[in-house]
Copies of this chain bind each other. A is one copy, B any other.
Amino acid sequence: MSIDLRHDDDVLDVVAKTETFVRDYVLPIEDEAAGDITAAGGDDLRREMNAKAKDAGIFGPHAPVEFGGLGLNMCDRAPVFEAAGYSTFGPIALHIGAPDEGNVHMLAHIASEEQRQKYLAPLAAGDVRSAFAMTEPAPGAGSDPNALRTEAVRVDGGWKINGDKHFITGAEGAGFFIIMARTSGAPGDRGGATMFLAPADTPGLTVGRHINTIDKAMIGGHCEVSFTDVFVPDEDILGEVNEGYRYAQVRLGPARMTHVMRWLGSARRCQDVAVDYVSRREGFGGRLGDLGMIQQLVADNEIDLAATRALLLKACHELDLGNHASDETSIAKTFAAEAYSRVADRSIQMCGGLGVSADLPLARLSQELRPFRIYDGPSEVHRWAIARRAVGRAKKAQQALEAKASAGAR
């Protein structure tokens, strides 16, 4: 049998350890903080949890081994990240939250040797956090990356950057930023973008207000960030000039999938809480969990979770094979994000009044999960891309047939 969907024992061991760690250590911390998790616990708590995760042998499962990580590929990250995501504090504890995890991934692929020592090493170790500054307020680069307005102009020995960003996750308290700026073309055409590395204390780099979103679990929040004549020397260009869009793709596919992994844990927790509830609670002459309409909710959650997990594995496998996997990651991301909202919503419904109260974590988790249908590309943008590719394939098939027919006619 060539096809094999089973993880190796050492991966399963990391999964098991992560499950134990989350259940025994992280969930109690989250429960305590649940009343006020705006700051997602803050960096002191993060460092404390990171140390515990290192002790448990599960810190940085995705990071290169040379930088202290476990070096797991995408397929093997999936169950570990899911186990961590069972608590919204789990990814912080394992240092696999967004955007650090994706930044580690990208730096490991693209950074120069100097940049690896200067930026990747402390990031992988959890000594600092990082931010990825790409999204801009209207009329800049939101869902449509071509609208990029932040601009870098050539100056002596480097580049000078000006522009505004928002929804920059983890900006508050980040040690350094990866900045996406236009280096050719004009907003609206594609043109070229470049990625720049800049320490947080670079003059002209300002972190503004936290945008008060309904998800609260990302350390450092979602912030507004502005760049006023920010100077970046040539050695801190990440990769090549004008190749920023291509690198963004390197980051985006895997980053989408690790979002899917982490939030899969949260969605499963919703289902666990709800099924636990309906299997205990009585009403209408029996156990709630034996009523047909409740069974339908339970089953639909199982189906949604299973389908997400299956699509995720497929996309991860394509990425591990070195493919772009644009279609597979778009499909998995879109399905997952919508499935998570459905799962959380059904779980709330199963628990009635308690479901919409803070006595259970469901309403809070539902809030954490909702934005995923918007973050990392709204479902509409992914569907547009999926459809364009499908229509493009049909067009190509037609042209091939016509070419064959006209060749035959000659």
Q: Are B391 and A289 in contact (CB under 8 A)?
A: yes
Residues of B within 8 A of A276 (CB): 394, 397-398
Select one of B75, B147, B294 contacting A1, CB under 8 A. B75
Query: A4 at interface (Cβ–Cβ under 8 A)?
Result: yes
Residues of B within 8 A of A300 (CB): 383
Report how many copies the assembly holds: 4
Select one of B7, B278, B282, B317 contacting A391, CB under 8 A. B278
A276 CA / B397 CA spacing, docked (Å)? 9
A298 CA / B334 CA spacing, docked (Å)? 14
Q: Are A349 and B387 in contact (CB under 8 A)?
A: no
Select one of B6, B7, B378 contacting A352, CB under 8 A. B378
Which stretch of A54-62, A86-94, A106-114, A304-312 is in the interface? A304-312
Q: Are B374 and A295 in contact (CB under 8 A)?
A: no
Q: Are B279 and A394 in contact (CB under 8 A)?
A: yes
In the complex, what residue of chain B is closest to A328 when comparing beta carbons? B306
Query: A275 at interface (Cβ–Cβ under 8 A)?
Result: yes
Which stretch of A24-32, A124-132, A229-237, A357-365 is in the interface? A357-365
Query: A290 at interface (Cβ–Cβ under 8 A)?
Result: yes
A307 CA / B24 CA spacing, docked (Å)? 34
* Contact digits for A275-293, partner B, Cβ 8 Å, 1 yes 0 no: 1101111111001011111
Residues of B within 8 A of A375 (CB): 353
Shortest A270–chain B CB gap in Å is 13
Residues of B within 8 A of A240 (CB): none
A283 CA / B384 CA spacing, docked (Å)? 13
Shortest A105–chain B CB gap in Å is 17
Q: Are B358 and A212 in contact (CB under 8 A)?
A: yes
18 example contacts (A-B, Cβ-Cβ < 8 A) are as follows: A1-B73, A2-B6, A2-B7, A2-B8, A3-B75, A3-B317, A211-B353, A212-B359, A213-B358, A275-B394, A279-B394, A292-B292, A293-B295, A293-B383, A293-B384, A302-B331, A303-B334, A307-B311
The 10 closest A-B pairs by CB, nearest first: A292-B292, A310-B310, A295-B387, A299-B383, A212-B358, A298-B387, A299-B386, A289-B391, A292-B293, A279-B394
